Amino acid sequence: MSQDAVTVRLTQVQDYQFDVDFGAGIPALRCDEPPPLGQNQGPSPMHLLAAAVGNCLSDSLLFALRKFKQEPEPLRTEVSAEVGRNAENRLRVLGMRATLTLGVPAAALEHLDRVLASFEQYCTVTQSVAQGFPVEIQVFDATGARLK
């Protein structure tokens, strides 16, 4: 592994509940499966994957806009994961759709076309998972106009 490796530690609490330790200074998180396996006492692995994609895309878009000293806040992001069965009849993520919404109208931002053309290429998580299944990305401004 590289020196930039990220390590998390999971400790079983009971059944399908695990506490996730992210390391010093970061609050732990309890994860669980939905019924019938678990008790829905925390996000499932599917929730965490969707959150990771959404968080990374949001960070990448914000970073790209701030490079041009733009203020798009508050950003909102929604990620939906399509779950289905593969050829072996096992549940898999078949695809994701991420919808990012800027907190301001597009007209209030400079260099937006340039940012929209490149921001997702810097999203480590999305680019990694997109090698396994498609990730559709949409961007809207505060007025509801679709920008990407």
Residue pLDDT, tens place only, 48-62: 999 999 999 999 999
- Average confidence (pLDDT) over 37-45: 95
CA 73 to CA 109: how far, in whole Å?
11
pTM for the full model? 0.92
CA 90 to CA 77: how far, in whole Å?
29
pLDDT confidence of 3, banded at 50, 70, 90?
Answer: low
Burial zone of 122 (CB within 10 Å; 0-12 exposed, 13-18 middle, 19+ buried): middle
The yes-or-no verdict on residue 2 having pLDDT over 70 is: no
For the domain 45-140, what is the CATH code?
Answer: 3.30.300.20
Alpha helices in the chain (DSSP H): 45-67, 112-118, 124-129
Residue pLDDT, tens place only, 63-91: 999 999 999 999 999 999 999 999 999 99
The yes-or-no verdict on residue 1 having pLDDT over 60 is: no
Question: Domain segments of the chain: what residues?
Answer: 1-43, 45-140
CA 96 to CA 105: how far, in whole Å?
26
The yes-or-no verdict on residue 110 having pLDDT over 60 is: yes
End-to-end, the C-alpha distance of the chain in Å comes to 35
